[in-house]
Structure 1
Amino acid sequence: MGAHKLTTDSIATPAAVQARAWRDGLVAYPGTVAFLLLMAIAVPFLGAFWVRTFTAMLIIAIGAWGVAILQARLGLVSLAGIAMIGLGGWIALRLNHATGLPFEVVLILTAAITAMVALVLGLPALRHRGLLYSLLTLMFAAAFHVIVSSVGFPDGGSGFWGRVTGSTQRMLMPRPAIAQGHLAYFFYVLVVVALCFAFSQVMLRSRLGRAWAMIRISDSVAQSCGIRVGWARAKAFALAGGLAGVAGCLWAGSVGQLDGRSFDPLQSLLLFGLVVVAGPWSMIGALLAGFLYRVFPAILDSLGVTGHVATMIFGAALIHAIVTAPRGIAGQLEDLFAAISRRLDTERKRQ
């Protein structure tokens, strides 16, 4: 009793899951590239406010992609997406103020350190799946919010916390030397997003990505195939943490300093919900999640609509995604374009 029951469907599932991973990833490449190119062309014609807003959207999309990888590829629910981004921002600020290293070096170190923290956070869940990891991440999000709300983010002081005292002037984290202006920084972030997506896709196409596909089906099935489940999960935690670290460093560089009020645990819950709504199986879904998280509320605000309306819309969209569209908006768009392509092929053959 309780053993995994192997049926014809379950035996065929690994190939089906891998095929879906290729379809939602490889087929989504043109859409993702088109999305990024459209932003690169259109955003420069917008005002400074919208340039900053779309920059924030791209930053959130990096963290959302880490949450999406855990959810779609391994079936793990991370409820600390925004908190991990905040941790990356804290590490980036502390490293920058303490060492004065170039932005790119701080970015890489932040990603590595945040990846290690994410790995440590996920250690208790290496042999388990489901509720335990969700609770661990939610508790981390709550604890992080309490700490940064009471202590604050590093601002150039000494000691572990890096806080200034007395009349000492607070320091801001400088942007990269090649991206000082708002528009230049937007393009800088755009390039980093493309690199993060490309790196993660290499991982998903590798043997490790195939192991994750098996683990999502069942731990017992993966183990029967010789996969070290704990080790594979650990690498997924590290990848998601590294992406969050990159996002946190970019966020800190964007505004110069961070505020603990931005990292309420409810924001992490909101990000996960938006990842589900947008579609966790593809990079387009991560970009859409960033759009819904940052740009959509800004559009409503510019129209004079209260932010509570956005929350209501997101709640209804989440219910719709869970009930009728498990692959989210991105999956529905991909199905639509695939249907149009098949229709065009059929018409072409008839001619």
Structure 2
Amino acid sequence: MKPISLVVLSSVALLSKICHACIDKATYYAIDSDIEKIASSITSQNELVHFYGGIVRLAAHDFMDHDRNSGTPYGSDGCIEWNHEVNKGLQTIWCNSCPLTKLYKKTYSYISKADFWVISANAVIRQLSKNQSFDLANTFLWGRKDAASCQGAGDRIPTGTGCREVEDTLLDAMGLQWRDAVALLGAHTIGKGHEAFSGHDGYWMPTVADSLVFDKKYYEELILRTWRSRNIGTKEEDFVASTEETHEHPQMMLKADVCLLYNTDRKYPCCSKTNRFLHGVNECDWEEVLSNKKCPSYAKNDSRMEAVRAVLEYLGGISPNDNQGPFYKAYATAWFKATTNGHDNLKSIRRTCW
């Protein structure tokens, strides 16, 4: 259910703007409501996935350049290297003619872009969560300041090449734990890969409709489906579901996804399950012969077993089940850490600004 206050948000948010450049509950939920209005005008489900997923990606690329070990730590500061290859596609979410940008400039430019991007991503998560029950308002802090420039920030954003990259960015630079990283990657449930932007073609979920639900299905797909290497020998190496031919679009996972369960940094190309058959053909052998190249599991003493345990935990129990609790709880913790990294004196949402 939407917060009741959404029905009077526009006028209350305007009063907040006039009185103070602060963020109160009325302003927070007004942004949420305005984003929902934009989404309701998008008739194509594919475009809606791009819009919703792009907003979360925008906020994530803003905070994933944080490096606690650097003299220029960056973090969530409203600054992105737009011309960097890793940020391709974000210009379709944030540009002069983009609905999200126009909304910000028209109504909310009195707050920082960094705060606005995080609130916008929070809105997407709430709107797409099961029963719209996952509301991050109570953990949101505001007061981020926008940076005028962030040279070199693009080089810090992971491209999905594997768990070494996850360790370098999310663990070593950002100071997160493996369970945090696994939770954040769960946001891929509402994403899609654009061949023109990242070189990776497909959705993480089996249907477009599934890609419009923020839930734990990412972990179910990761575990239950057979994943075989694709784009072998190129910089776009990734994985594709063995049953992609039965879906409306390619279903894919990045190497940074599959490595949460299998040691793909040690062995690639490979296939996650080599003992399954579809129409009499080994599921690993649709394009490449990979039935003899099983992706290796991690040793029990490997530090990445923390990631494996997190994947299993976020399933919420024996499948099938609809227990989103473990994933939502872990995501809220990880998202809070990631979006507040490098900031001091952030403030809780005020009850009112006037």
Q: Tell me if both proteins adopt one fold, taking TM over 0.5 as the criterion.
A: no
TM-score of the two chains, using structure 1 as the length reference: 0.28
Structure-2-length-normalised TM-score: 0.27
Which structure has greater strand proportion? 2
Indicate the structure whose relative CO is greater, using CA pairs within 8 Å and at least 6 residues apart. Answer: 1
- Larger proportion of helix: 1
